[in-house]
Structure 1
Amino acid sequence: MMNFLVKTLANAGALGVAIWLIPDITLTGGSFWGEFLALILVALVFGLVNWLVKPVVKLLSFPLFILTLGLITLVVNALMLLLTSWVAGKISLDFHVHGLWTAVLGGLIVSIVSWALHVVLPDDE
C-alpha cells in the first residue's frame, strides 16, 4: 500500500511539474483544492495507463527499442501521456495535452521528475 501511495505522489508531482513548465499541458479544477484533487486523480489514471498499457506497447515495439537504442521510449512515454489525456477527458477531468511534440516534451519531463522523486521518496521494498 505504501508503494502505491509513493508512486501516486511521485506521478502527481511529476505531472504537476510538466503542467507548470509546459503551457500546452493544462489542468483545471477551479479552486486550489479542486486542482489538487484533479491532479491526484490524473496521477491515478496515469499510473493505471502505465501499469496496463505500457508493458504491452513496449513488448510490441521491442524491435524499435533495439533499433533506436531506446530512444523510442520518448515516443512511448508521449503516447502514454496522450492516452492519459484522452482517458481523463472521458471521465470528466480537465487534463489536456495538446499535440504530439508537447506530449514528447511532457513525457521527458515526467520521466525525469518521476525518477528523481522515486529516488527521494521512501519505498517499502
Structure 2
Amino acid sequence: MKQLEVQIMQQSYLLGCPEGREARLLDAVERVDTAMTRIRDAGKVRARERIAVLAALNLAFELADREAAELAAAAHVPPLSAAAPMGTTGTDAAMLPQSTERLQALVQRIDDVLGSDGHLL
C-alpha cells in the first residue's frame, strides 16, 4: 500500500492508498477539500469538525441522488420533471418537504451533539 500526503483546508494528512488508485484518491481529496472550503468560505461555520460533517452530508446526498438517477435509468423510468428539484420525480416531489424536514432535523441533531466543541479536527 502506498502512502500519499495530501492537503485538505491547508492541513496535511498522510493517507494509505492501494497501488494504482492514486488518481482516484486525489480526486476524492479534491472533492472533499472543495466541499469543505466552500462551506468555510460561506462564513457561517468555523469549526473544522462541523465543516467536515456538513461536507460529508452534502457529498453523501449528491451520491444518493446519482445512485437514484442511475437506478431510475436502469429501470427505464421517464426522465426527471423539470419542475421537480434535481433527483426527484413527480412522486418523489410530494415527499420532498418530509425529506427536507428530516435532513434539517439530522443537521440539528449533529449540531446539538457537536455543541461548541470545535477542536476535534
TM-score (norm 1): 0.40
Point out the structure with max Rg over C-alpha: 2
TM-score (norm 2): 0.41
RCO comparison, higher one (Cα < 8 Å, 6+): 1
Task: Please state which structure has a larger fraction of its residues in helix.
Answer: 1
Task: Please state which structure has a larger fraction of its residues in strand.
Answer: 2
